[in-house]
Amino acid sequence: MKHGGDTLTFKERYNGKIIDYSSNINPLGPPEALREAFERGFSAVTSYPDIKYRKLKGCAGRYLGCSDDEVLVGNGAVDIINTLSLSFRKVVVPVPSFVEYAERAEILGKEVVKLPMKDFSIDMEKLKDNISEGTMIIAGNPNNPNGKRIPEEDVLELQKLAEENGAFLVLDEAFYEFCPEDYDSIKLFKSKGNVCVIRAATKFFALPGIRLGYGFAAKSIADTYYDNWIPWNINVFADMAGQVIFDQTDYIKKTKDYIKTERSYMLQELNRIDGIMPYESETNFILLKLSKGNEDTLFDYLIQKGYMIRKASSFDGLDKTFVRIAVKDHFNNSRIISYIEEFCKIYEV
Amino acid sequence: MKHGGDTLTFKERYNGKIIDYSSNINPLGPPEALREAFERGFSAVTSYPDIKYRKLKGCAGRYLGCSDDEVLVGNGAVDIINTLSLSFRKVVVPVPSFVEYAERAEILGKEVVKLPMKDFSIDMEKLKDNISEGTMIIAGNPNNPNGKRIPEEDVLELQKLAEENGAFLVLDEAFYEFCPEDYDSIKLFKSKGNVCVIRAATKFFALPGIRLGYGFAAKSIADTYYDNWIPWNINVFADMAGQVIFDQTDYIKKTKDYIKTERSYMLQELNRIDGIMPYESETNFILLKLSKGNEDTLFDYLIQKGYMIRKASSFDGLDKTFVRIAVKDHFNNSRIISYIEEFCKIYEV
């Protein structure tokens, strides 16, 4: 299981509804304003999307605080990562992290170096030894599966280290809006030519079905990006969604508040349970270390109850004592916590 | 201008409606049944698409006459071409043809050989000298921009030549359904492990905005394809569209008949005009050779009248005396022909 979200396989196996705690999507659903945008879809499908995505880039640029020609758009964040990787000889990936970072680079025939993190922090010394001209470093911020932001001083050091060694830094901030407001990498690195910051509609705007990623990079990087990109790679529905979501300020605030409350609640409750250790998270998922059972036994227990969690041993450096769960609506959050507690108690006997 | 369809640039420049004769989309629009499929979209966007696209592959397999595990699906035909190219060392492209064949291979760092065609026929002798183990040959069938199918005996020879030299053959049949029913490449090469046949919703089903390509290849090829493919690369709207369009037998028949009639009409009328020579076409676009003016003067003349055509000098081997136009609805077809005739007469004075 390389990715979460594949409920279909398990729906077929277990009659009934499976609640997906394996992927990390805003539990409040997508902004209502999208409904109208999608209704315009039927008349738009008969034309190619604007090959330059002018309106979409305009909206994303305003939201991100950069100019239109510094905006990258793609068919999901993975498309952006894939297209960026084309320009580099070598890709360095601190692990554990989102499996596609290394996977895409390997598929594209790049030299891939996986750097084990120390307690989910990037090992700057090892990193320094592995980067040079033509290297792309890619790091999750917050990182998946542990859910912690890179501290501001570390991200500044990371950029400096990259710059000094002629390397390029990609920060994957697909979960950015779920996090407490500390620093904004785009503001921090606006004038830097060696940083790309990727964000996505997938998680925060609850649109995994639409495929829309976007981000910031210096104009020269953006130009190369579009030279290498597959033309019309974002379809009209995703294009239209991107022209609506960024204006939803109430929705954005409401989601941030909701996740903050539920995350605290879950962390507090999970910390009480004997047999698991939740990692401190700043986003909408929580990594658990199990001292009772393993990813398979807990997965099997919870799927019988209708909850699908993410086994985490497919992340480099994690073994079968790790699982990842999402932060969803309060009712289900409290239910899944009870079941996890139940599992730990049964396991004891 | 590497591609047609960019009406936005010209709409901004010329007030008013531009009719797009530069891209080749079914003038009857998409099947009505799609409306309902897209309405289901809003509830589907909050989930990832099925990572295995099981229903979509089932529908495409039935339509194409192959089994589900022989179906390739992609975010438009270019995505399929791009992903297939990853597996090969060298890509051989008869030209002129769709510019993305060579472009994607170059971007992926492959060795690219462009083989000039003789009167739009593939030069089999030259081809033989350029293929070996690890080579992918890609040919349009019908070829863009001229619009002629590869004769059955030639396509059989092509496959044989590829097989004897350890090469892989990709037939891009994005315009297949517009053509007279001669042979079906999928039936022809069902048992062959070295052929992929690509088709697309873009042109015939009038869905350029949706991005959906599909095709046939042997299971082992399909397995490698999905190993290399970007996960969830087709969004839920395109996924749903693909589960509806193939059953539209009335729509398919009606479109075939309409295009056949309009294509004959246009070819006949264009043949009458002194100053242009239309190439015999079997699909929904027509390549014109100009003996009066050039692509720029004709483009500028027609855009003033509200019609955008495709300049063809960006195709390898074609100069500024070539343009390509679409076959659209009868009213506009007769109008654009009158304007072309007018242009030729004015040019004489």
Q: Measured between CB atoms, does A209 come within 8 Å of chain B?
A: yes
Pair of tokens at residue A183? 């620093």
Please give the radius of gyration of chain B, using alpha carbons only, rounded to the nearest integer: 20
Of the candidates A34, A230, A235, the beta carbon closest to that of B237 is on: A235
Rounded to the nearest angstrom, the minimum Cα separation between B24 and chain A is: 10
Distance CA B121, CA B143 (A): 10
**Measured between beta carbons, which residues in chain A are less than 8 angstroms from residue B230?**
75-76, 78-79, 82, 104
Confidence (pTM)? 0.92
**Measured between beta carbons, which residues in chain B are less than 8 angstroms from residue A76?**
230, 232-233
Nearest residue of B to residue A213, measured between CA atoms: B233
Q: Note whether B52 contacts A6, CB cutoff 8 Å.
A: yes
Nearest residue of B to residue A210, measured between CA atoms: B235
Q: Note whether A34 contacts B45, CB cutoff 8 Å.
A: yes
For residue A296, what are the CA distances in angstroms to A30, A105, A129, B157, B342?
32, 29, 37, 53, 75
Polymer length in residues for chain B = 349
For residue B236, what are the CA distances in angstroms to A237, B108, B199?
10, 28, 19
Beta bridge partners of B20: B308
Sole residue written with tokens 């863009």: B144
Assess whether pLDDT exceeds 80 at residue B149. yes
Contacts with A, B 30-89, CB within 8 Å: 30, 34-35, 38, 41-42, 44-52, 54, 75-76, 78-79, 82, 86
Beta bridge partners of B91: B112, B136
Distance CA B283, CA B327 (A): 8
Q: Note whether B47 contacts A232, CB cutoff 8 Å.
A: no
Q: Measured between CB atoms, does A13 come within 8 Å of chain B?
A: no
pLDDT tens profile A36-78 = 888 877 778 888 999 999 999 999 999 999 999 999 999 999 9
Assess whether pLDDT exceeds 60 at residue A349. no
Highest mean pLDDT (candidates A11-20, B19-28, B31-40, B111-120): B111-120
Q: Note whether A6 contacts B230, CB cutoff 8 Å.
A: no
Average pLDDT, integer, range B114-137: 97
> What per-residue confidence (pLDDT) applies to A9?
75
In the structure, what pLDDT confidence band is assigned to residue B261 with cuts at 50, 70 and 90? Answer: very high
Backbone angles phi, psi at A6, to 5 degrees: -85, 65
Backbone angles phi, psi at B236, to 5 degrees: -65, -30
Backbone angles phi, psi at B291, to 5 degrees: -110, -5
> What per-residue confidence (pLDDT) applies to A306?
93
In this structure, the number of other CB atoms found within 10 A of the CB of residue A345 comes to: 13
A91 residue type, one letter: V
Assess whether pLDDT exceeds 70 at residue B323. yes
Between strands A71-74 and A213-217, the pairing is: antiparallel
> What per-residue confidence (pLDDT) applies to B127?
97
**Measured between beta carbons, which residues in chain A are less than 8 angstroms from residue B57?**
none
A17 residue type, one letter: K
> What per-residue confidence (pLDDT) applies to B313?
96
Assess whether pLDDT exceeds 70 at residue B16. no
Average pLDDT, integer, range B100-126: 97
Of the candidates A29, A208, A235, the beta carbon closest to that of B211 is on: A235
**Measured between beta carbons, which residues in chain A are less than 8 angstroms from residue B23?**
48
Mean of the per-residue pLDDT values of chain A: 94
Q: Note whether B237 contacts A233, CB cutoff 8 Å.
A: no
Distance CA A279, CA B161 (A): 59
Q: What distance separates the 2 farthest-apart alpha carbons in chain A?
A: 63
> What per-residue confidence (pLDDT) applies to B15?
59
For Cα atoms B208, B158, B104, give the angle at the middle one, nearest 5 degrees.
40
> What per-residue confidence (pLDDT) applies to A16?
66
Distance CA B274, CA B293 (A): 12
Best mutation target among A235, A244, A310, A329 (most B Cβ atoms within 10 Å) is: A235
Pair of tokens at residue B184? 């079906």
For residue A102, what are the CA distances in angstroms to A316, B37, B74?
10, 36, 22
SS (H, E, C) chain A: CCCCCCHHHHHHHCCCCCEECCCCCCCCCCCCCHHHHHHCHHHHCCCCCCCCCHHHHHHHHHHHCCCHHHEEEECCHHHHHHHHHCCCCEEEEEECCCCHHHHHHHHCCCEEEEEECECCECCHHHHHHHCCCCEEEEEECCCCCCCCCCCHHHHHHHHHHHHHCCCEEEEECCCHHHCCCCCCHHHHHCCCCCEEEEEEHHHHCCCCCCCCEEEEECHHHHHHHHHHCCCCCCCHHHHHHHCCHHHCHHHHHHHHHHHHHHHHHHHHHHHHCCCEEECCCCCCEEEEEECCCCHHHHHHHHHHCCEECEECCCCCCCCCCEEEEECCCHHHHHHHHHHHHHHHHHHHC
In the structure, what pLDDT confidence band is assigned to residue B63 with cuts at 50, 70 and 90? Answer: very high
Best mutation target among B25, B36, B237 (most A Cβ atoms within 10 Å) is: B237
Assess whether pLDDT exceeds 90 at residue B4. no
Rounded to the nearest angstrom, the minimum Cα separation between A127 and chain B is: 27
In this structure, of A200-214, A218-232, B28-42, B298-312, the range with the lowest mean pLDDT score is: B28-42
**Measured between beta carbons, which residues in chain B are less than 8 angstroms from residue A238?**
235
In the structure, what pLDDT confidence band is assigned to residue B12 with cuts at 50, 70 and 90? Answer: low
